[in-house]
Amino acid sequence: MGLKMKDGRIVAAMALVGLLAAGCSTTGDSGGADSSSTVGSQQLSAAEIQTILAGKSWRFQGPNNTGTTLYAEDGSSLVEVDGKGTTKGKWMTKDGQLCESFDPAPPWLPGGVPMSCYPFSRGAAPGSYQAGKAVFTVAS
């Protein structure tokens, strides 16, 4: 039974990853570690990522969800997933990575998501960024 609960938590985590960090791939390749030159050559430092995100709201687009995340300067976040609801979270940066966790938000995110880190880089379009495969643009 512990495995089923863990599997449920993993499914919930992957759902949020899908909306925030395993999102929109510019190519429809069959997943995996698609290390195109975009991620490798444009990796940012922790301080750069902090400066980019802190105090701003960002639109995210993934294959299954879109929404907006406010990254507060104190490391807290507020996420609104279009058509699903909102949740709070925490965020931090490491060199080349954005790390996030999310509070439970039943029914769409019943178990929350533990702190997970994803590669963060400049996106293909001007003013865009990528966390994993999700595309981020400044919310207007």
DSSP, residue by residue, 71-85:
E-TTSEEEEEETTTE
What pLDDT is stored for residue 42 in this prediction?
61
What pLDDT is stored for residue 51 in this prediction?
97
For residues 123 and 22, which has the higher predicted lDDT (pLDDT)? 123
What is the pLDDT averaged over residues 19-41? Answer: 38
Which percentage of the chain shows pLDDT scores above 70? 70
Q: Sign of the CA dihedral 95, 66, 114, 36? A: negative
In this predicted model, what pLDDT tens digit does every residue of 57-104 receive, in sequence order? 999 998 889 999 999 999 999 999 999 999 999 999 999 999 999 999
CB within 8 Å of 105: residues ≥ 6 apart: 84, 85, 86, 87, 112
